[in-house]
Amino acid sequence: MQAHLTLIDNDRMKVHAAISYGISSNVYVVEDKATNEVTLIDTGYGPPYSNLIESLRKLKIDINRIKQVLITHRHRDHTNGLKQILREIKPTIYIHKLDAGVLAKRLEAAKKLIVRINEEYEIKVGDISIKALHTPGHTAGSICYLIDNIIFSGDLVFANGSFGRTDLPTGNISDLIDSLKRISKLEVNTLLPGHGEVVLKNANAHIKLALKMAKSYFKVKKEILSRFFPTKPFNSIKSFL
């Protein structure tokens, strides 16, 4: 089940969303008005949990206008939808180099379309500049994308102070806290996360609340681990994740 919305419509661009309820990620569609080019941010899980082709139809987006896909991280609920559109088009696919290997194996022949990006990277789409920021924690190669004061946060941070899980491969709570600290210093007003509701104003308050909650979680987990491993020095929980 998905809701299809136009979130932003200004003189340079439109930003649409397919908001998913369930396992699939949200999908964001950025239209550049100057060039008519379309950029996707994440692609959802695909059938039966979501249907990217159907979402594009409902949003009145011609699939042939899609020039690039920006992936926030390697998990299937954000990337499996690529398989649907790769049957018809060959967009450039951006993903952090630390998550790129897993995606390349899944895409097989289409892996040549992948651009492996580093700590910071700028993607130009007509008059729009999209900045990629490496924000590890949920995965080692997680990325947030920035357009002006809009942040597409993947599974780093969600509305109302929620933050991404770190118990899956390459997840790390201390890295996630560091990433939350980094983006909490940005002047962002709109938070478009990988799952759940969007935040169209005062996004920074939600990010700072998530940082506070993650720090509390880290403290409790550290105390529990220290209790069960009392003879081992404990400076970081990285080795336990």
Cis peptide before 48 (omega within 30 of 0): yes
For residue 105, how many C-alpha atoms fall within 13 Å in the half-sphere facing its CB? 6
Which whole number is the average pLDDT over 199-226?
87
For residue 101, how many C-alpha atoms fall within 13 Å in the half-sphere facing its CB? 4
**β pairing state of 92-96 and 114-117:** parallel
- CATH homologous superfamily, domain 2-227: Ribonuclease Z/Hydroxyacylglutathione hydrolase-like (3.60.15.10)
Q: Distance (Å, rounded) from C-alpha 99 to C-alpha 73?
A: 6
Residue of 100, 196, 188, 201 whose CA lies nearest to 146:
188
Q: What pLDDT was estimated at residue 122?
A: 95
Burial 167-194 (b: 16+ CB within 10 A, else e): eeebbbbbbbbebbeebbeeebebbbbb
pTM, whole model, 2 decimals?
0.91
What tens digit of pLDDT does each residue of 57-104 get?
Answer: 999 999 999 999 999 999 999 999 999 999 999 999 999 999 999 999
Q: Distance (Å, rounded) from C-alpha 104 to C-alpha 144?
A: 20
What tens digit of pLDDT does each residue of 101-157 get?
Answer: 999 999 987 889 999 999 889 999 888 999 999 999 999 999 999 999 999 999 999
Q: Distance (Å, rounded) from C-alpha 93 to C-alpha 110?
A: 10
24 within 8 A of 12, measured Cβ to Cβ: no
207 within 8 A of 191, measured Cβ to Cβ: yes
The domain segmentation of the chain, as residue ranges, is 2-227
72 within 8 A of 42, measured Cβ to Cβ: yes
CA 136 to chain centre: 11
What tens digit of pLDDT does each residue of 21-30 get?
Answer: 889 999 999 9
pLDDT exceeds 70 at position 230: no
Candidate from 25-29, 164-168, 226-230 with smallest mean pLDDT: 226-230
Question: What confidence category does residue 15 fall into, taking pLDDT thresholds of 50, 70 and 90?
Answer: very high
Cα radius of gyration (the chain): 18
Question: What confidence category does residue 227 fall into, taking pLDDT thresholds of 50, 70 and 90?
Answer: low
